[in-house]
Structure 1
Amino acid sequence: MNLFSYLGNWVMGGLRRLIGTQYSTPSYGEEAASPVTFDSAMQMSAVWACVKLLAETVSSLPLSVYKVGSNGRKVAESHALSILFSGKVNRYQTKVEFFETVILNLIMHGNAYCVIQRIGDRVIGLLPIMSAQVTTVLLSDGTVTHQYTHDAGVTVYSAENIW
């Protein structure tokens, strides 16, 4: 074998290793030693700190409800949500506590559900419920219901009663 053949094989041999299909992706994952749950995740300081930072930051942001008209947008101070978010959102929580709960559910479970509390047609409160305990069901007639599983059993809410 002459020098040029040797160099050609050396260069092309290196290129041949770079050309082609990778049949399996590198994987370094392993199964968790124990199942990861909401409680076990929140016991990790990094998870807890990130969730706390996001929830507290978002919940402390100012919130206004606007009405869009021909002259542009104006703050709708008499809107039901504007009145609700100016004080206590429900009989248990302030606006900040309410949004901390909603953001926690969004981060940890991917969704947030709140039961709309009413007196007649007037909205008097929004009560957050644990997203992990809600199952959304599409019925055969096209209506959507939310089944909330709790200690006392299952409560079914229509889509109009969930925010």
Structure 2
Amino acid sequence: MRKLVIILVVNLFFFSGISCGSDNILKEESNSENSVSKIPNGYVGNLYKTESGSESLRKSEILKTKSDNIDEVIVEVQKLEDYSGKPRFIEFWSPTCMTCLASKPVVQGLKEDFGKQFDFFSLSTSDKEYRNAFLDYGIRAVPTFIIENGKGEIIFKASGRAKSEVFESTFKEILNTN
């Protein structure tokens, strides 16, 4: 019995870190007196405004992967630190999260529709190189989606199931203000 209690407590602490975002009813946190009540239709999850991410994420670097048989670069991946000056969409997710996997087709559709106007990043909990990004952006649940404007300021942060209508209207609003 004692072992069972210890195992349960250890698992509780272990799994309480980053977990799947829940499909809670939409909530908004207000930022002092200038709170804008803008609740997107069709969004399920948590939506709130936040401060900018860490400046340490703005450094330029390319991840190069080499083949085992050939000494040449076969993949060049744009990393989060690369910054083109375009607005960017950052998806934080986990391969073990069913809500995250269900959101993948929505994100892919957004990338197809807005890929020329926005930079898209998909950061997984299984990629050790992105652990600092999860911490710098204050990610506590997955999936979490962040949209930054062309200056690198966070203007949208949402956790939970992705709805294309919410992101499309936000993307169009950003493009109209630029």
TM-score range, shorter chain: under 0.3
**Max radius of gyration: which structure?**
1
More helix by share: 1
Structure showing greater relative contact order (alpha-carbon pairs closer than 8 Å, 6 or more residues apart):
2
